[in-house]
């Protein structure tokens, strides 16, 4: 860049711009192929690298095109790539207080009383636990498994075994923790409405 002469720059820049666009299109196609693979992470090409290449191609093209505009008297400002940073997140300082000096109950379910987690969808409460076993006091039925991008271990999907007979909609997702494969991270969705809990739940009242 910067070595062009005003007379010739427009046509030669146009050519280079077209070349850049073709390059960009090719890389975008590669990215598309990459994203279409069911399992990412075979390591050959990284999506991030392709995106960087596409963006570089766009920037290059824009600068070539804008130098054309300059000749016709228009000023084309190319804005630097703007990155949206910092989605407004609620401070959430209040939530953390629930993890105080061990005096509070260890049952996370108790805290899921209405009004505690306003950010969550009211239809499906969820919470996460970490445990050396994927078993808990409920009977679950595995219904799926998914390889997560960049994760070493697949995520397994379970639903309450009482879904067909009692309509219990509780589900959970279990995944081994990459840094500590002896531990499982479990994310629970919804409360059990099956008989197993019916008696247990009354203790909270």
Measured distance CA(156)–CA(133) in Å, rounded = 13
By CB under 5 A, name the one of 16, 159, 172, 192 that touches Zn ion: 192
Residue 162 in the binding site for Zn ion (CB under 5 A): yes
Measured distance CA(98)–CA(118) in Å, rounded = 15
We find the least distance from the C-beta atom of residue 200 to Zn ion, in angstroms, to be 11
Residues in region 30-69 near Zn ion by CB under 5 A? none
Residue 168 in the binding site for Zn ion (CB under 5 A): yes
What's the N-to-C CA distance of the chain in angstroms?
73
Enter the tokens of residue 181: 């494969």
Residue 170 in the binding site for Zn ion (CB under 5 A): yes
Task: Compute the half-sphere exposure of residue 139: CA atoms within 13 Å on the CB side of its CA.
Answer: 9
Residue 16 in the binding site for Zn ion (CB under 5 A): no
Enter the tokens of residue 132: 């050396």
Residue 194 in the binding site for Zn ion (CB under 5 A): yes
Query: With CB under 5 A, what is the number of residues at the site for Zn ion?
Result: 6
We find the least distance from the C-beta atom of residue 153 to Zn ion, in angstroms, to be 25
- CB nearer to Zn ion: give 42 or 165: 165
Exposed/middle/buried for 127, CB within 10 Å: 0-12, 13-18, 19+?
Answer: middle
Residues in region 68-87 near Zn ion by CB under 5 A? none
Residue 171 in the binding site for Zn ion (CB under 5 A): no
We find the least distance from the C-beta atom of residue 22 to Zn ion, in angstroms, to be 56
Measured distance CA(76)–CA(70) in Å, rounded = 7
- CB nearer to Zn ion: give 116 or 139: 139
Question: Mapping DSSP to helix (H, G, I), strand (E, B) and coil, where does residue 145 land?
Answer: strand
Q: Residue numbers of the site for Zn ion (CB under 5 A)? A: 160, 162, 168, 170, 192, 194
């Amino acid at each position: 860049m910067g070595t062009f002469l005003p007379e010739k720059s427009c046509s030669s820049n146009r050519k280079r711009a077209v070349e850049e666009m073709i390059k960009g299109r090719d890389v975008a196609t590669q990215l598309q192929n990459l994203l279409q693979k069911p399992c990412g992470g075979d390591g050959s090409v990284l999506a991030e690298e392709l995106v960087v290449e596409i963006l570089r191609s766009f920037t290059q093209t824009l600068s070539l095109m804008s130098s054309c505009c300059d000749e016709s008297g228009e000023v084309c400002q190319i804005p630097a790539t703007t990155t949206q940073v910092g989605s407004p997140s609620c401070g959430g300082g209040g939530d953390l207080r629930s993890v105080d000096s061990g005096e509070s109950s260890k049952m996370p379910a108790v805290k899921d009383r209405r009004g505690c987690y306003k950010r969550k969808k009211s239809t499906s409460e969820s919470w996460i636990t970490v445990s050396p076993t994927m078993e808990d006091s409920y009977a679950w039925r595995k219904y799926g498994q998914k390889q997560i991008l960049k994760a070493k271990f697949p995520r397994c999907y379970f639903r309450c075994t009482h879904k067909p007979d009692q309509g219990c909609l509780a589900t959970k997702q279990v995944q081994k923790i990459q840094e500590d494969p002896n531990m499982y991270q479990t994310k629970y969705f919804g409360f059990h409405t099956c008989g197993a809990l019916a008696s247990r739940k009354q203790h909270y009242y």
